[in-house]
Structure 1
Amino acid sequence: MSGRADEMELTTYSRMNGDKPPDIKENVKENSWVAGVQMFVSFLLAGFGMVAASLLLDVVQHWDVFSKVSEVYILVPALLGLKGNLEMTLASRLSTHAHLGHLETSLGSLVVGNLCLIQCQAVLVGFLAAMAAVAMGWIPEGEFDIHHALLLCASSVLTASSASLVLGLIMIGVIVISKRININPDNIATPIAASLGDLTTLALLSFVASLLYKSIGTSVVLPSIIIIMGASIVPVCGYVAWKNKFTQQALDEGWVPVVSAMVISSIGGLILDHTVSVYKGIAVYQLVINGIGGNMVAVHASRLSTTLHTGQKEDSVISSTTKLLLLMVVPGQLIFIYTIEYLRAGHTSTTLIFIFIYMSAALLQVFLLLAISHYMVVWMWKLGMDPDNSAIPYLTALGDLLGTALLGIAFSILYAIGDKDSDLGD
């Protein structure tokens, strides 16, 4: 875009309808150590939320619906990943609005617009994830079961819709409360969204799928009603979001990043499929390295987007935020490495050589993600795109891809120098 008028239109939401810009210094400037503590605590909460989701999956995998309808396993990572991106972009958007003062002046409009937006996105994304699971389950076997397909679609749509409503309300509450007690929502909102998103979505999916499984073979009415109701919600919520000044741009820009992220993550999935078959102990660490990397880059993108929206000049690539996030990698990863060892959840000896090689991969992953985040957010901004709507899905997907690839290289190096997996957990 060119011209001062276009630049002013892009650089802040606060000028819409004559809103007065907020006091930039009061909203943005903060003590680095305070910011570091806020971010680190939120990362720990996100990490333990991921662990809780893993433990829940270990329980529900023995339920009848998981053992009899194997496609549900395919649906789990797809739905959790896609829903996670929607919730984190919501958190990033709302954090920016908090800094711009819109929570005080337009809270009702923000709540209605964003709840309708994520409801519309979630139902369509849920249906897309279900279709992918149906296709991936059908192609290898060559058999199509209409009852299983309806179960997957209905479960995914109802789960996505319910989770979006619950998590959307929680995130609004978190951001409103954090702003009132002088906590920067950019530091805590996206990790909390990630931690609550996985656990809530998995719990709802397991419960809904289990209930619907009881109707398989006897009736297709209930799943069909759920799918039809979901389809009817989309145009209504889409219309409300389109008419809302705070969500119109997000409705227009939010689809391509989410779908593209799914494709990028799928490439990482292919790498993981190969590495898991070769290195038995890699799977549990893949969740940790990808989870922490994704949360860190989401916070970085959210903070940088807020800086641009509030009219500040962006920092250099190696900014104070970048340094803080890099400093958190080692203690954060160590906490989860020793948590895994304590729970005997992995198959790898926690030797000094393992820790050094693994930390090198984790630090390189986060450094690359933060550098990419800086250039991507600024590039989107200059093109007239809102980074709050578009950047995080790409970055978290790249985090999955880089984390999986670098972890595979790390385990290859460990095997090459003789530091192989032990029989832990066998």
Structure 2
Amino acid sequence: MSPMCTFTEGSEMGPQDNKEFPFAPTDTATLPASAAEDSPLPDVIVKLAPESNTVEHCKVNSTTPSAETHISIGCQVVVPFLIAGMGMVGAGFYLDHVQDWEVFMKVPEIIILVPSLLGLKGNLEMTLASRLSTEANLGHMDDPKEQWSMILGNLTLVQCQAIVVGLMSAVVAIAMVAVTQQEFSLSHTLLLCSCSIITSSIASLLLGFITATVIVVSRYFNVNPDNVATPIAASLGDITSLILLSWVASILHDADDKFSWISSIIIGCYILVIPFWVFIAKKNKYTHSILYTGWTPVVVAMLISTLAGLILDILMAKYKDLAVYQPVINGVGGNLVSVQASRLSTELHKDNELGTLPPTARICISPLDAFFSKQQYAMTARVLMLVVVPGHLIFVYAIRYFKEGNASPTKIFIFFYLTAALVQVAILLYVAYVITYYFWSRKVDPDNSTIPYLTALGDFLGIMLLGITFEFLYLLGDIQLPT
């Protein structure tokens, strides 16, 4: 494809509407310095910014092998998937352990934060992984100078988003409790806000560095980062967030009697530092536009995950052993669909201009086409579906090995649990295709939009299907309520 960009009305190029401007690699001087300043379209990723190298984003410079097979995809996906799954198993055990801590008993609203904070890896880190994977596959990270600029700019952006979304998730959780349970406590409010901000900020910083490192290393060893970056980012995401949340909440709760002002100071300091992160992200040409247009998916996903957290809080009050499976079923669904979404976005970036679908592509396709056609996305979907059952069996029996009691699965439990997991992943993989192609057709970069929606939907479906599974098994007498 010729490196051609088409600008239409409202696109930044002023009066030359509906004209085509071919850019040769040396034509960057023709770009206006303020091209990315005031994009009027919400969530439209116009890849122009101060000193922007528009040519690099318009031309295709891919060195990724195009002929991937079931085996090659499976080999690259399975190992990081299993590593991530073991991290989720550990997170499940940890959540099962800390739910009896004093701070979780006295401030039960913290449970509502769990899906939201764990979902941040989908909202932020997995979106970061998808964004950088696309740039790596297009060859835009081959220059070390551009690579570092891209990574540091994105880490700054993620830090800004983590603070804001962490604070918002705590506020929404408090509002939900106030509406549903008619309860409000100022001390609980400050505690939730402070521990949510600290957890999201530190976890996002650590996981962001890990994600960027994985992508750079994958590129060096000629491994497609779309297949490995998101699962690796998730492998430590759940357990890191849970450990930070529980420890910070416990420390602040214990200190509340003598230092009741400490939570307010923490919240104030983080709010004051937000303009600093915004300033850096705004000056970086790779994150300038996303700073303005990347908030809607993150905020909507946070709201969905917080609603899922409210449902989880209700279910865990009845089924204590549900806690050990919640991070596993949610994490597996989120990891697998993120691989699919990241690969779909990369393929669109490689061969098409933003807003232009491939000639034979359709947004709405039948589920049969999504899984059984000869297209690359269907082959990837089949591979991902094939790892669901063996992956969950490994994770469930790992739980059985390390934990006794109702969490030890019976055959009927395994059957219904695997059914719920397959339904969850199948729905997510189909929705991934539809919304990725829909966003692309609307000139919205799916690297910044699809994964937050998909992982939040995965959290909601996972908790609902897991709750239905436990309720059904309780009615059958397969599990007993704690006395």
Please tell me whether the aligned partners of residues 28 and 307 of structure 1 are also in contact (alpha carbons under 8 angstroms): no
My pick for the range that moved more, 347-356 or 231-240, is 347-356
1:421 matched to 2:461? The reply is no
1:340 matched to 2:399? The reply is yes
Q: Deviations over 1:109-139 (max 9, x none)?
A: 1122101101110010111122234445556
Q: Deviations over 1:253-274 (max 9, x none)?
A: 3222122223333554566566
Relative to structure 1, the CA distance from residue 424 to residue 35 in structure 2 (aligned partners, 3 Å threshold; closer, same or farther) is farther
Match of 2:6 in 1: 5
Question: Aligned ranges for residues 158-237 of structure 1 at < 5 Å?
Answer: 158-237=198-277
Relative to structure 1, the CA distance from residue 356 to residue 148 in structure 2 (aligned partners, 3 Å threshold; closer, same or farther) is closer
Code of the aligned partner of 2:124 = L
Q: Equivalents in 2 of 1:409, 1:202: separation in Å?
A: 25
SS in 2 for 1:401: helix
Unaligned stretches of 5+ in structure 1?
A: none
Match of 1:264 among 304, 312, 316: 304
Match of 2:385 in 1: 326
**Offset of residue 424 of structure 1:** 10
**Identity rate, percent:** 49
Relative to structure 1, the CA distance from residue 354 to residue 231 in structure 2 (aligned partners, 3 Å threshold; closer, same or farther) is closer
Please tell me whether the aligned partners of residues 301 and 374 of structure 1 are also in contact (alpha carbons under 8 angstroms): yes
1:358 matched to 2:399? The reply is no
Match of 2:283 in 1: 243
Code of the aligned partner of 2:208 = G
Please tell me whether the aligned partners of residues 65 and 209 of structure 1 are also in contact (alpha carbons under 8 angstroms): yes
Q: Equivalents in 1 of 2:471, 2:480: separation in Å?
A: 18
Code of the aligned partner of 1:196 = L
TM-score by length of 2: 0.76
Match of 1:368 among 420, 427, 430: 427
Match of 1:36 among 63, 67, 74: 74
Please tell me whether the aligned partners of residues 169 and 302 of structure 2 are also in contact (alpha carbons under 8 angstroms): no
Which structure has more helix as a fraction of its residues?
Answer: 1
**Offset of residue 237 of structure 1:** 1.4
Match of 1:380 among 432, 439, 455: 439
Q: Deviations over 1:6-56 (max 9, x none)?
A: 499999969934338454363544343122122111221111111212333
Match of 2:454 in 1: 395
Match of 1:156 in 2: 196
My pick for the range that moved more, 367-376 or 191-200, is 191-200
Q: Deviations over 1:165-194 (max 9, x none)?
A: 222111111111111112211111112222
Please tell me whether the aligned partners of residues 424 and 461 of structure 2 are also in contact (alpha carbons under 8 angstroms): yes
Q: Equivalents in 1 of 2:350, 2:97: separation in Å?
A: 46
Q: Equivalents in 1 of 2:106, 2:313: separation in Å?
A: 23
Q: Equivalents in 2 of 1:279, 1:214: separation in Å?
A: 28
My pick for the range that moved more, 24-33 or 87-96, is 24-33
Superposed CA RMSD: 3.4
Relative to structure 1, the CA distance from residue 17 to residue 264 in structure 2 (aligned partners, 3 Å threshold; closer, same or farther) is closer
**Offset of residue 305 of structure 1:** 0.6
Unaligned stretches of 5+ in structure 2?
A: 9-19, 22-43, 353-357, 363-368, 372-377
SS in 2 for 1:5: strand
1:19 matched to 2:56? The reply is yes
My pick for the range that moved more, 100-109 or 298-307, is 100-109
Larger Rg: 2
Relative to structure 1, the CA distance from residue 28 to residue 251 in structure 2 (aligned partners, 3 Å threshold; closer, same or farther) is farther
My pick for the range that moved more, 323-332 or 225-234, is 225-234
Code of the aligned partner of 1:317 = A
**Offset of residue 369 of structure 1:** 1.3
Please tell me whether the aligned partners of residues 84 and 236 of structure 2 are also in contact (alpha carbons under 8 angstroms): yes
Q: Deviations over 1:191-243 (max 9, x none)?
A: 22222222222222233333333432333454333222211222221232233
Code of the aligned partner of 2:212 = I
Match of 1:93 in 2: 131
Aligned length in residues? 421
Please tell me whether the aligned partners of residues 238 and 327 of structure 2 are also in contact (alpha carbons under 8 angstroms): no
SS in 2 for 1:102: coil
Q: Equivalents in 1 of 2:443, 2:124: separation in Å?
A: 21
SS in 2 for 1:183: coil
SS in 1 for 2:370: coil
Q: Deviations over 1:75-110 (max 9, x none)?
A: 333322235421111111111111122222211211
Match of 1:317 in 2: 370
Question: Aligned ranges for residues 53-202 of structure 1 at < 5 Å?
Answer: 53-61=91-99, 63-105=101-143, 106-136=146-176, 140=181, 142-145=183-186, 147-202=187-242
Q: Equivalents in 2 of 1:273, 1:66: separation in Å?
A: 11
SS in 2 for 1:26: coil
SS in 2 for 1:104: coil
Relative to structure 1, the CA distance from residue 28 to residue 120 in structure 2 (aligned partners, 3 Å threshold; closer, same or farther) is farther
